[in-house]
Amino acid sequence: MPTPIVLDCDPGHDDAIALLLALASPEVEVVGVTTTYGNQTLEKTTANALRVLELAGRSDIPVAAGADRPFRRELVVAAHVHGESGLDGPVLPPPRTSSVAEDAVAFLARAARERGPLTLVPVGPLTNLARLLGEHGTEGIERVVLMGGAIGEGNITPAAEFNVWCDPEAAQRVFSSGLDVTMVGLDVTHEALLGPAEEKRLRAVGRIGTFVAELNVFFSEYHRRTYGWDGAPIHDAVAVAHLVRPGLVETQFRNVEVEVDSELNRGRTVVDRWNRTGREPNAHVAVALDRDAFFDLLVERIASLG
């Protein structure tokens, strides 16, 4: 039986690729998509989620819009990375469909009751999930596999990764929830660099593969300017791949705490990698990725979408 999941996302180029990978993978059933501010405003990320589902012919999957800003932090979007639309690059018509009337938290609570036990896959700021936990508890949630955080350096500040930095209070609530949490951070997602060779493989497998390659051409621009890389790390797709193909990502059960007081280190995920602090482990932290197997899976599954 496929694992029922909800992808909580802020499309976003890598979110879009993660969604397509999930749609193409029989190991999971996408029972819904919830959206959040992050890479762009909520309005734009919601429109982008609808556009990608339409592209894949999966407008049967409901999209529920969620948080338009963090709990108490200022709203910051990543237009410098994902562009004005949040999905700049390939031509994609505006959505013909709409999100459902229910907001993301109400949708998640209902899905947890009706389709649980659910696996939640948050790949944007964690405001929606934190609100769900605060208002409905953990009932019906089996597991959380999130893209966010970093053992090492950040990417929005030297100290912090963007998703956690946006709403550190929300992230701390998730890590302290007692849920089965997996943290797929920059340490392994920076290994998932989609470059010209992978773009060529994707263009050869059809319409959706070409779309993913085109997304990556734009997504690579920021990473070339910033890091000198010839490609882009498709962060969010690694979280989905971990669910679809256990073994691709190696994890270690460690304690993770989020810095919420310091401005300098706001949103830093302090990972007790070598068990120095005596603090109880609370997350399975990704420490290694089988890059070749990851891209073989991605190309194989994207090919199946035609």
Nearer Cβ to ligand RIB, position 161 or 187? 161
CA angle, residues 116, 119, 122, in degrees to nearest 5 = 130
Asked if residues 142 and 165 have their Cβ atoms less than 8 Å apart, the reply is no
Q: Which residue has the tokens 């997350």?
A: 283
- In 3D space, the residue among 41, 30, 6, 12 whose CA is nearest the CA of residue 122 turns out to be 6
* 148 sits near Ca ion (criterion: CB under 5 A): no
Q: Are strands 232-233 and 193-194 parallel, antiparallel or unpaired?
A: antiparallel
> Is 235 an annotated catalytic residue?
yes
* 170 sits near Ca ion (criterion: CB under 5 A): no
Q: To 10 degrees, the CA torsion angle through 9, 140, 239, 182? A: 120
* 14 sits near ligand RIB (criterion: CB under 6 A): yes
Q: How far is the CB of 92 from Ca ion (least distance, A)?
A: 17
Q: How far is the CB of 11 from ligand RIB (least distance, A)?
A: 8
Q: How far is the CB of 176 from ligand RIB (least distance, A)?
A: 21
Nearer Cβ to ligand RIB, position 13 or 109? 13
Choose, by CB under 5 A, the member of 4, 6, 8, 15 that binds Ca ion: 15
* 32 sits near ligand RIB (criterion: CB under 6 A): no
- Six-digit token string for 197: 């060779």
Distance CA 76, CA 161 (A): 13
Nearer Cβ to Ca ion, position 4 or 38? 38
Residue 125: count other Cβ atoms within 10 Å of its Cβ. Answer: 33
Nearer Cβ to ligand RIB, position 15 or 167? 15
- Six-digit token string for 16: 């879009």
- Binding region for Ca ion (CB under 5 A): 10, 12, 15, 123-124, 236
Residues engaged in binding ligand RIB (CB under 6 A): 10, 12, 14-15, 38-39, 123-124, 147, 155, 161-163, 235-236
